Amino acid sequence: MMPSLNQPSDNNMNPVIKYYQNGKIKSELWLINNEYHRLNGPAFQQWYKNGQIEYEGWYQNNKFHRTTGPAFQQWDSNGRLINEFWYKNGIDKTKEIKKFIKQYPLPENEVLFKLTFG
């Protein structure tokens, strides 16, 4: 998706990064006008003190949004995925996407998935 003229690309944005006292990254935020927004990656990520990712959220215009995978994922401190939710333009699509994936396993059906939900 090409950015509009009044919407900067990720290349023109700088994330807000916070660190733990041990020097490891704690969080990374991508914001425009104090709203979560990023076109080519998660707009919000947070890590445990041990360096393991805790959760990430993909946003556009301050709404959960991702067409290539879950818009929100959460892991435990050992790296095990414990939650994932699928959104498009802020609308929760988790139930219908999980039903689709159960019926048409990915990645074999990735093209059909993109045509249906992309």
Parse the chain into domains and list their residue ranges.
13-93
- Write down the pLDDT at residue 78: 96
Higher pLDDT, 58 or 11: 58
Please compute the mean of the pLDDT values over residues 54-83 and round it to a whole number: 95
CB atoms within 10 A of CB 117: 15
Neighbours of 94 (CB within 10 A): 15
Position 43 scores a pLDDT of 97
- What pLDDT is attached to residue 58? 97
Task: Tell me the pLDDT of the chain averaged across its residues.
Answer: 85
Percentage of the chain lying above the pLDDT 90 cut: 64
Cα(30)–Cα(42) distance, rounded to whole angstroms? 8
**Contacts with 30 (C-beta within 8 Å, 6 or more apart), sequence order:** 10, 13, 15, 16, 36, 37, 38, 41, 42, 43, 44, 59
Q: With beta carbons less than 8 A apart as the criterion, state whether 32 and 59 touch.
A: no
Angle between helices 94-103 and 110-117 (to 10 degrees): 150
Which pLDDT tens digit goes with each residue over 99-117? 887 887 766 666 666 667 6
